[in-house]
Chains A and B, each alone.
Chain A
Amino acid sequence: MKISNKFLFAVFLTGFSIYLVFALNPEGASRILLNLLTFAGIYGLSAIGLNVHFGWTGLLNFGHASFMGVGAYVTLILMPHAAGREGEITSTGLPFIFALIIGILSAALFGLLLGLPAIRLRGDYLAIVTIAAAEIFRLLVRDLESITGGVYGIINYTENLQQYRPNFINNFSESFGFSPSQAWVCLLAWVSIFFTVIFLKRLNNSPWGRALRAVREDEDAVRAMGKNAVWLKLQSFMLGAGIAGLSGVFLAFNYGSLESTVFVPLLTFYVWAIMILGGVGTITGPIFGSIIFWVIISETDRLAFILFENANGQQLAGVRFLLVGLLIMVLMIFRPSGLLGKKEELLLDVK
């Protein structure tokens, strides 16, 4: 296998950014790194899903947060949890793995549901429809307090996953001073990324993957070859949404409590930034993109403290988002193919 210069550069940049974390934080660097890698794993997984939509099939999906949300909420609600203002306890439920599978399937089904009408629309209209659908989802989740806990959210569910935590994680975490529960979520997220990448690599080289990319390049040609372009797009929507659903579950377990504000449009834009940074249309790109992105994000707090003497939470978040916006803009203008992407594979014009 030939390793390209681009790939080496991406690996180098990722290694360098991890080194930066150690260089900039003399104390507690490993703890910061774990936190960062956990988020990087979760968002990277989500960005891989988004890449199936946009990179492979050319679907301009700006409602990615809702797919993550459906996966997370369905999984949590099926398991023992507490929800709502009173913290109403549901003590019975499915074991984690079954709930997870149903959660992922629901996310995929939601993808189908949203995809069915939406793929009839041209690129920019699809963007508006998906972002609107994600907002409808979020508003409904916030409003259906009896099921989703509304603004009070869902709590007391982490044990469903943490009870399967193997012993070596505990020992490992103890020696590094990590939170064992976060280390477990981090490990699971990266294992999922590993298997997802292998799965997608195989798909990408299969006739199905080729047909999918052909849809992006020229839909009419695909039709002329006797393939069902609409069904291919829908399958792509379901696949990407399912991957997003899985990452949403990990996000919920990383937070320890879940409320609807997690799934605001900004979450989608984070994932977009990661995908563009890593490389649109690539499979492994989002992994590098995600790590670099989260190093940038976690080190911006320094910038906030330079700008403001005593930066409060609002200012810290503000500086972060400022950089996210700038990153999206600058990348899209100067290097839309990101670290690993190929420029000729980008779909940047409305068809």
Chain B
Amino acid sequence: MLDQLGNGLLLGIIISVASVALSLLYGVTRIVNFAHGEIIALGAIMTLFFSSPVDYRVLFLEKYSPLGYNFALSCILAVFACGLFGALLEICLFRPLRKGNVGNIAVLVVTIGLSIFIRHLYLLFATGKVQDFPLELQRRQTYLFFDMTPRNLNVLIAGIVVMLIFGFLLTYTRLGKAMRAVRDSEELSSVSGINSDNIILITWISSSMLAGLAGIFQAIINDVRWNMGFLILLLIFAGTVLGGIGTSFGAMVGGFLIGILVQVSVGLPFMEGHTEAKNAVALAIMILILLFRPQGIFGQKERIS
């Protein structure tokens, strides 16, 4: 069981970062964003686009001369590209919907359509086959009681640091306070002089940047696929729900728990020969949590029925 702990931590950091992003967006805008997975995939695809030294075809450009930027620079550029994408989504799609008083459920269905649309854009124009980042292979090493490659350990540490900084910003800055004010009541915060449109725009940008970062992590640890975001979307929901919807710290812990649980469950006796069903365990836990402790581990009690 313990040999899976390293894998669990790595899946955990992906889900954790993505869950924080999803939870932030849900907390402020009340949008259950099914297109979250596609922003995650965008992070990975843009990194590949910026860094790949081989001829790589991306979005509508039949032949693109490779950029071949430095890998770290590519990651940063990709994260900003995701932020830009999130801003575009908010300005072009979700802000008009909000102004038009379109209901929450309609917006949820719109995000599902959006997710299908973008995902198949990737399939058609970005990457139909599985690709890897241009990084050299590394050997696994043992740290304390888990083993992983040095690069993945760096990913793990970087992810935790980013989330801690992010959590700190949310808790102690004026911006974080404003976000929480908009979450509690958009009208009241507008009355108190908060420009709620700007706050929601910033929320979209930061949530998308975090999601893009999660995608880069996922691509470093595994690989780049057109549907990589959709594959872990339900696990991200599980992580968010487990930690408590709308709480960043909860999503962080919930994401890690789900990741570890999924990987460790491979080693359980009744799972022998059924490794494919490992995601089912996480989803079942999410359903149970929603039924018996809908506020999650850290959430505050709220009516959800």
Contact = CB atoms under 8 A, between A and B. Distances in A.
Interface stretch (B48-56, B104-112, B253-261): B104-112
B124 A136 contact: no
B290 A121 contact: yes
Given A136-B284, A349-B105, A350-B104, A128 B32 contact: yes
A315 interface: yes
Given A318-B124, A321-B116, A348-B102, A132 B304 contact: no
B280 interface: yes
Nearest to A320: B120
A139 B121 contact: no
A206 B118 CA distance: 43
A85 B89 CA distance: 46
A321 B105 contact: no
B116 A324 contact: yes
Q: Is the interface of A mostly helix, strand, loop or mixed?
A: helix
Nearest to B31: A124
A350 B116 contact: no
A178 B291 CA distance: 50
A329 B284 contact: no
A124 B284 contact: no
Contacts of B237: 128, 132
A123 B120 contact: no
Given A132-B283, A266-B116, A125 B109 contact: no
Given A139-B276, A139-B279, A328 B113 contact: yes
B41 interface: no
B220 interface: no
A250 to B, nearest CB: 24
A117 B277 CA distance: 22
Interface string A268-305: 01001100100000000000000000000000000000
Contacts of A318: 120, 123-124, 128
A330 B128 CA distance: 26
Contacts of B277: 139-140, 142-143
Given A122-B305, A307-B124, A132 B116 contact: no
A216 B58 CA distance: 46
A55 B59 CA distance: 38
Contacts of A129: 286-287, 290
A269 B241 CA distance: 23
Given A123-B104, A125-B294, A129-B290, A329 B304 contact: no
Interface string B47-74: 0000000000000000000000000000
B251 to A, nearest CB: 14
Contact of A350 (B103, B117, B128, B286): B103
A349 B104 contact: yes
Contacts of A350: 30, 103-105
Interface string B114-134: 111111110110001000000
26 contacts: A123-B104, A124-B108, A128-B241, A131-B234, A132-B234, A132-B238, A132-B287, A133-B283, A136-B280, A136-B283, A139-B276, A143-B277, A269-B113, A269-B116, A318-B128, A322-B116, A322-B120, A325-B118, A326-B113, A329-B110, A329-B113, A329-B117, A332-B113, A333-B97, A348-B105, A350-B103
Interface of A: 60, 62, 117, 120-125, 127-129, 131-133, 135-136, 139-140, 142-143, 266, 269, 272-273, 276, 307, 314-315, 318-319, 321-322, 324-330, 332-333, 336, 347-350
**Which are the 5 A-B pairs with shortest beta-carbon distances?**
A328-B113, A325-B116, A325-B117, A348-B103, A349-B103
